[in-house]
């Protein structure tokens, strides 16, 4: 016995605003029927006593603590710059921007 009819597939196609040919309706009906048959097999499995899990892997993100550490001062950062203007890195203009 088929779990989904050609008419139900046509109805779903209309709801999804899909224009399907007769051949496509027949093909999708058989494919969806096969999928639903497999789903029913899975649903029939007895899982009594099996603990539910959302992720079988116990890995967690490996991150370092967010700690404040010493860093360069503005003067140290700009010391090796080819050019600095008003405490900032000076770079060539791009895309015709005015200076």
pLDDT tens digit sequence for 10-33? 999 999 999 999 999 999 999 999
pTM: 0.48
Q: How many residues does the chain have?
A: 99
State the greatest distance between any 2 C-alpha atoms of the chain, in Å, as a whole number: 80
pLDDT tens digit sequence for 27-50? 999 999 999 999 999 999 999 998
pLDDT at 55: 76
Cα separation, 2 vs 50, in Å, equals: 31
* 58, 30 Cβ separation under 8 angstroms: no
* 4, 13 Cβ separation under 8 angstroms: no
| CB proximity list for 5: less than 8 A, separation 6 or greater | 29
User: Where residue 73 falls among pLDDT bands split at 50, 70, 90?
Assistant: very high
């Amino acid at each position: 016995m088929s779990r989904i009819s050609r008419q139900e597939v046509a109805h779903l196609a209309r709801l999804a605003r899909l224009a399907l040919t007769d051949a496509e309706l027949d093909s999708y009906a058989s494919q969806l029927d096969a999928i639903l048959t497999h789903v029913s097999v899975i649903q029939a499995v007895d899982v009594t006593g099996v603990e539910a899990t959302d992720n079988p892997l116990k890995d967690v993100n490996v991150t370092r603590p967010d700690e404040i550490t010493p860093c360069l001062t503005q003067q140290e950062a700009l010391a090796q710059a080819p050019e600095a203007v008003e405490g900032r890195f000076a770079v060539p203009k791009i895309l015709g921007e005015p200076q």
